[in-house]
């Protein structure tokens, strides 16, 4: 009788535990090095894991350095990943200048967004077929070219309005950080890719946009695989607590006041 009572008590505890545990959020990332530098998906998973009474985030990726959404569409790997289903969100990250366009002065300029609109729409149709939501990764301008941010944000906003998609405003948060906390370097020396602080800020933004809640005391040191196709475990982020706190505050304020989000 005692054994039966213990079994029933354990079963009830497991049942109540299963009911109270929030359902994990499943996210597919499609993009390039702006996603895999410092393993952004792993940073996002770890921040979610450290939050109390909050849903975990499970990620998968389809990534290739320097590639556009057009390339991903024609390569078909990303489409196959979408069609597996089971996603809550699919993140679309376009090439950082909406496709490579080299100006006479030798710099990468922001390309005409028509190709971005075309292939974001193609992916969005596939995403909706499996009952997931499209999220646009609104990336940042290269270091030294802040005027490019307006053209990027205009393209992301127009695409979001056309698709009814959500936006993760990393470019806007990087602009705020550059103005308010210039000692925190977000660009690598190549003036393009994110430092670990930059990827950490991006992960905080993704966490808040995907869960609807801000991260509470997120970890300032995170270890994990170097990237999705390299299992070598390294320190992905190791920030002073003050820098991590500043970036968390900026992320929460930018998302709360973010003007890029479509109205519908």
Q: How many CB atoms lie within 10 A of CB 85?
A: 11
Integer angstrom CA distances of residue 241 from 42, 127, 140, 199, 233: 20, 38, 24, 16, 22
Q: What percent of the chain has pLDDT over 70?
A: 87
Work out the average pLDDT over 144-171: 95
The reply to whether the predicted model has a pTM over 0.95 is no
Q: What percent of the chain has pLDDT over 90?
A: 82
Give the torsion through C-alpha atoms of 90, 95, 99, 100, to 10 deg.
-170
Structure tokens at 262: 């479509």
Q: What are the backbone angles phi and psi of residue 197, rounded to the nearest 5°?
A: -65, -40
Strands 57-63 and 166-168 turn out to be unpaired
List pLDDT tens digits, range 83-122. 999 999 999 999 999 987 766 666 778 999 999 999 999 9
Calculate the average pLDDT of the chain: 90
Residue 5 burial class via C-beta count within 10 angstroms: exposed 0-12, middle 13-18, buried 19 and up: exposed
**DSSP code at position 39:** G
List pLDDT tens digits, range 172-216. 999 999 999 999 999 999 999 999 999 999 999 999 999 999 999
Structural domains in the chain, sorted by start? 23-257 (3.40.50.1110)
Provide the pLDDT for residue 21.
Answer: 73
Whether 29 and 91 have beta carbons less than 8 Å apart is answered as: yes
Strands 230-238 and 221-227 turn out to be antiparallel
Provide the pLDDT for residue 259.
Answer: 62
If one compares 5 and 248, the residue with the highest pLDDT of the two is: 248
pLDDT category at 228 given cuts 50, 70, 90 is confident
């Amino acid at each position: 009788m005692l054994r039966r009572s213990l079994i029933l008590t354990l079963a009830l505890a497991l049942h109540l535990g299963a009911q109270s545990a929030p359902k994990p959020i499943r996210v597919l990332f499609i993009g390039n090095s702006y996603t895999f530098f410092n393993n952004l998906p792993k940073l996002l998973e770890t921040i979610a894991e450290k939050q109390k009474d909050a849903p975990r985030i499970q990620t998968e990726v389809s990534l290739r350095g320097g590639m556009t959404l057009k390339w991903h569409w024609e390569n078909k790997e990303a489409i196959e990943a979408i069609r597996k289903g089971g996603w809550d969100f699919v993140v679309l990250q376009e090439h950082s200048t909406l496709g490579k366009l080299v100006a006479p002065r030798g710099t990468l300029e922001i390309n005409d967004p028509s190709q971005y609109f075309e292939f974001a729409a193609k992916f969005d149709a596939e995403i909706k077929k499996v009952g997931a939501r499209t999220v646009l990764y609104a990336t940042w301008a290269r270091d030294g070219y802040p005027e490019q941010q307006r053209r990027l944000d205009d393209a992301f906003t127009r695409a979001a309005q056309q698709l009814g998609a959500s936006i993760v405003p990393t470019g806007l948060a990087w602009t705020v950080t550059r103005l308010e906390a210039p000692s925190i370097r977000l660009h690598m020396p190549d003036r393009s890719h994110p430092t670990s602080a930059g990827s950490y800020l991006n992960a905080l933004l993704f966490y808040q946009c995907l869960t609807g809640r801000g991260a509470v005391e997120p970890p300032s040191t995170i270890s994990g695989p170097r990237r999705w196709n390299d299992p070598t475990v390294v320190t992905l982020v190791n920030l002073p607590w003050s820098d991590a706190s500043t970036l968390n505050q900026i992320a929460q304020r930018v998302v709360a006041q973010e003007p890029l989000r479509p109205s519908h």
